[in-house]
Structure 1
Amino acid sequence: MRLSFIVFIVLYVLIDVYIFRSLKGMGRGLLSYGYLVVSVGILGNLLIQFFVVDDGGGRVLSIPRSYAIGFFMSLLLFKVFFLVLFLGENLIRLIIGGAKKVSDSGADFAVPERRKFVKNLLLGLAAVPFASMLYGMYRGKYNYKVLSYELEFDDLPDAFDGYTITQVSDIHCGSFDNKEKISYGIDLINKQQSDLLLFTGDMVNNRADELDNWMDLFATLSAKDGKYAVLGNHDYGDYYEWNSDEEKKANLEDLKKRERDMGFDLLLNENRFIERDGQRLALLGVENWGGGHFIKVGDLDKAKENVKPDDFKILMSHDPTHWEEKVIDDPYHFHLTLSGHTHGMQFGIEIPGWIKWSPSKWRYKHWAGIYESDRQFINVNRGFGYLAFPGRVGIWPEITVIKLKKKLA
C-alpha cells in the first residue's frame, strides 16, 4: 500500500474525529453520528468503485464512479470549509483571550466561549458548498443556458449579414443518465433556428457505443445550412484500456460513422463552403490539437486547402490552446474560431457584468466566452455535458448563438 494512500486515510480519519467532536460539543449528537455514517459511506463507496467493482476493461468514467467522485468532492468541500471556519474562529478566540491577559496582567488567561449564534452561523456557512455541489449534481448539470453574441466584421460578405450560428460542444454522452432532461436540451438547441449548427468535439467519454441510447436524439438536431462537427480529445479513445491498437482504431472509425449517421458532416482537417447569393464563407474543421499532453493531430495547413486568403473563415478547433499557439499568428487570418474543451471546470462563479471566475483560468488563458486578438475572435463554449464530476456549479451547460454582422463604415 502506498505511503500517500496511508497518509490520506489517516488525515481523513483525523478530520472526521475533529468534526465529530465539534458537532457533539455543539450539542448536536444526532448530527455528529449521522455525519460519521455519511462520511464513512461516501469514502467506502469511492474505494469500492475504484478498487473492487470491475471497470469493464478501462471504463474509468462510468456513471457510478462519477457519482462516487461527486459525493466525495462534495463532502470534501464541506470538510475544508468546516476546518477553515472553525479553526479560524478558534484562533480568533485565542487571540482575544491573549489580548485580555496582556491588558490585565492580574487576570487569568481564558478563552472566550463560542456563542451559539456563531456556532450555527459557521456550520451553515460550511454547509453551503456541500449543498451547492449536490444541487449541481441533480439540477445544475441540466440548467442549460443560451448565450447570444453579436460579432461585427469589416469584411463579412453582405449576403451573410445577420447570419446565425449555434455552437454546441463537449456532449460527453457517456455521462448522461436522464433522457428527458437531455431531450429538453436538444429541443432548446433546435428552437434557436440558426442557419448553421456546429459541434466542436468530445461526443463521447471513451467509446463509440456510449452513443447507443442517444443517437436518435442527436439525429433530430438540425439547421438550415446543415450541421458540422469535429473531433475532441476524448473521441480518440486515449483514456481507455483497449485490448489492441486495432480495437482502438476500430472504435474511432465507428464513432466517425455514427456521427455521420446522425447527420453531421465531420470535418477532419477539411473545409466546406457555405454559399449565398453568389458569395461564400469558408468553414474549416481540424482534428484535435491540444496543449500539453493532449493529442495533436490537427493540421491547419491541410484544412486550408482550396481556401483563399481573402475568404471569410470560421474555424472549428476543439482545444482553445490551438488558437493562442497556432491560429492567431497564421497568415490566413481566421475571423472566428469555435472551441470547447475546458468545460469552465464545471465549477465557478459568473454574474454577467460583475464577476467571471473558475479554477479553469489557472489552466487555460481562454477558458469561457468570447475573446479577441488582432481582429480575430474565439468563442470557448462551456460545454453541453459533463465529465468526471457529474454536475455543474455556477458554470452552467451552454448553447451558444452567434450572429455575424457587417460592420458599418
Structure 2
Amino acid sequence: MPARSRKPPYRFLLVVSLILALLHLYVGLRLLPDMPVAAWGKGLGVAWLALSWVLLPTTILSRFVKRQSLADALGWAGSLMMGVFSTLLVLTVLRDVFLGLGALVLPGAVESRSAVWSAAAVPLLTVLISLLGFFNARRRARVVDVDIPLPGLPAALQGFTIAQISDIHVGPTIKHDYLDAIVDAVNDLQADLVAVTGDVVDGSVEHLAPHTAPLARLSARHGTYFVTGNHEYYSGEAAWSEEFQRLGLNVLKNRHVVLEHDGASLVLAGVTDYSAHQFVPEERSDPAAALAGAPTDAGTRVLLAHQPRSAPAAAAAGFDLQLSGHTHGGQFWPWNHFVRLQQPYTAGLHRLGDLWVYTSRGTGYWGPPKRFGAPSEITRLRLVAV
C-alpha cells in the first residue's frame, strides 16, 4: 500500500473515473427510462448514480489521507458503494441478456411489461443482496470443521487439530473489535496449533498496530504460525513480519519447524506469498526450500501457503497437506465463478496427487463489506488416519 505522504496517482484516478462514468451512464440509460416511478423518482436515481460515481474512487484516495479518521470514513464510503454498484451493474447486464433473449421469442407487449418489472426488480434485488452481504461480512466468521484423511498417520497424531484463519484484512473497515471476536473464537477451539495464512492487514504498522494487537492473545498447544500474503507486501511486509513476531506469531518464510506431539513428529513449513519475489526478489516462494532438512520419518508434513497456486510445487516437494486462503471463495456472487481463472481452487478441500489442499474462504473480507454466497470461516482441521 502506498505511503500516505505520497501524492495520489491523478492520471490513474482520471482513467478510473472515466471508466466508472461510462458504467454508471450505462446503468442509468438501461434502467431509469423503464422504471415505473414518477419523474422525481427518476431524478433520485440520477442523483444516486452521481453520488456513487463520486464516492467509488475514495477507496483509492483514502490511502493518501494523513488523518486516520478521515481516511477510514472515505474507505467506508467507497467500499460500501463499491459493493452496491458491483451488484447493480451485474444485475443490469443480466437484465439486458434476459430482455434480449425475450425479444426473440416474446411479442412486443409482453416484452414491454418485462422491461418495466425487471427495471424495478434490479435495484430492489441490489438492495436485498447488499444488505444480506453486509450482515454476512460483519458478523463473526463461523467455525467450519474439516477432517483431513492421511494414510499412515501415526496414532499419536490422530485427531491433531489446526485452527486456520486467513484474509482478515484489518484496515479501513475492520478494526480491533472485529479481530478480537475472531481471536476469542479461535481460542475457544483449544487447537493444537493456529495457522494464519496471510493477508492479515491492509495498511501500515504505524496506523494499524493498535488494531492487530488482539493477535497476541492467540493460544494453542504448539503456538501460532504465520505466512505472508500479497497484501502484507502491499503494506510493508518487513515491518509487519517484525510486528507479528513481536505479537508472538512465528513467521515462517521458506522454512519449517518440527513439532513433537505425544511421541510423534509433525513438520510444519511455511512459504512466502506466491508473488513475493515481485516485491522482494530474495523472498521467492519455495516449498522445496521450506522442507529442506526436515526429518524423513515425520508423521506428516504440512505447508502453509497463502495462495492455492503453490500446490503443484508443494506436491512435488513431498507435502501431505497445504493450507491456503487468498481467494475469499469469491467473496460475493458472481465473482466466485471467476476465481478459477487465476487459482486452481476456489474453496474447500481438494486433492492433487498425494497432496491435500484446503483453501479457506477467509475470515474477514477485502474491499466491500459484503459476502454473498461465500461465507467467511474460522477453520478447524482435524488430522485423521485412513
Which category describes the TM-score, using the shorter chain as reference length? 0.7 to 0.9
Whether the aligned pair in 2 keeps the contact of 1:138 and 1:391 (CA below 8 Å) is yes
Whether the aligned pair in 2 keeps the contact of 1:269 and 1:299 (CA below 8 Å) is yes
Q: Cα offset for 1:404?
A: 0.7
Q: Superposition pairs for residues 195-210 of structure 1, below 5 Å? A: 195-210=192-207
Change (3 A) 1:292 1:133: farther
The one-letter code of the counterpart of 2:165 is V
**Matched residue, 1:315:** 303
Does residue 170 of structure 2 align to residue 173 of structure 1? yes
Q: Cα offset for 1:219?
A: 1.3
Q: Cα offset for 1:179?
A: 3.9
2:25 to 9, 13, 16: 13
SS in 2 for 1:387: coil
The one-letter code of the counterpart of 2:180 is S
**Once the two structures are superposed, what CA deviation does each residue of 1:287-323 show, in whole Å capped at 9, x if it has no partner?**
2224996876223333223312332211111111111
1:341 to 326, 335, 340: 326
Q: Superposition pairs for residues 75-224 of structure 1, below 5 Å? A: 75-82=85-92, 84-85=94-95, 88-89=98-99, 92=102, 96-97=106-107, 111-112=108-109, 119-120=116-117, 123-224=120-221
**Matched residue, 1:41:** 51
Does residue 343 of structure 2 align to residue 367 of structure 1? no
SS in 1 for 2:294: coil
Whether the aligned pair in 1 keeps the contact of 2:55 and 2:77 (CA below 8 Å) is no
**Matched residue, 1:255:** 240
For the residues of structure 2 that align with 1:373 and 1:382, how far apart are their CA atoms? 19
Work out the percentage of aligned pairs sharing the same amino acid. Answer: 23
For the residues of structure 2 that align with 1:11 and 1:374, how far apart are their CA atoms? 44
CA RMSD of aligned residues (A): 3.3
Higher helix share: 2
Change (3 A) 1:48 1:281: closer
Gaps of 5+ in 2: 1-10
Does residue 377 of structure 2 align to residue 398 of structure 1? yes
Q: How many residues align?
A: 368
**Matched residue, 1:32:** 42
Larger CA Rg, structure 1 vs 2: 1
Q: Scaled by the length of structure 2, what TM-score is found?
A: 0.82
For the residues of structure 2 that align with 1:385 and 1:371, how far apart are their CA atoms? 22
Does residue 74 of structure 2 align to residue 74 of structure 1? no
Q: Is the deviation greater in 273-282 or in 137-146?
A: 137-146
Q: Scaled by the length of structure 1, what TM-score is found?
A: 0.78
**Once the two structures are superposed, what CA deviation does each residue of 1:201-255 show, in whole Å capped at 9, x if it has no partner?**
122224223432223311111112211111112212xx36xxxxxxxxxx43331
The one-letter code of the counterpart of 1:389 is P
Change (3 A) 1:62 1:365: farther
The one-letter code of the counterpart of 2:287 is L
The one-letter code of the counterpart of 2:139 is Y
